[in-house]
Structure formats: C-alpha cells, structure tokens
Amino acid sequence: MITDSNGQEFNAMKIFSMAIKYLKTQMLEEIQKQKAGMSEKDIMYVITVPAIWDEKAKQFMREAAQQVDSSSDTHNVY
C-alpha cells in the first residue's frame, strides 16, 4: 500500500501498473499519429530500474509490467 498526500491508501501494484499502461498507451498513440508504419509487435519494451534497488523492488516492477498486458504471451520480463 502507498499513501497519497491526503492520507488515502492505494494498492501500490495497481498504481505502478496503471502508470506503465498509461505510458505504453501514450507511446502507441503517438506512433499512430506519426504514421510510422509500425505495429506493437515491432516494439520491444524495456523498463530500467536503479541498480541500487534490491531484488524485491526489482521483482515488484517486473510484476507490475507483466500486469499491464497479462493477456499477451509474447512479452518477456527479466
């Protein structure tokens, strides 16, 4: 759980997944606007995290990224 500035608690996994999904959606919309001739299958997503993060934090980010498109079996998250 994470707490906002008003003291309300939210599920951290859901918040991070929503943020990643938003970024992905915005990128795909921009590609469409640019008529770049690309499809999503042409894209390899990479999310970096600081090296100082412990394994638990890195795993959390992996799981958040996997939740964005859990219906797809084409993604690999390391």
SS3 sequence of the chain: CEECCCCCEECHHHHHHHHHHHHHHHHHHHHHHHCCCCCHHHCCCCCCCCCCCCHHHHHHHHHHHHHHCCCCCCCCCC
Phi, psi values for residue 59, rounded to 5°: -65, -40
Count of C-beta atoms within a 10 Å radius of residue 20: 19
pLDDT at residue 41 above 70? yes
pLDDT band at residue 73, thresholds of 50, 70 and 90? low
pLDDT band at residue 21, thresholds of 50, 70 and 90? very high
Q: How far apart are CA 25 and CA 20, in angstroms?
A: 9
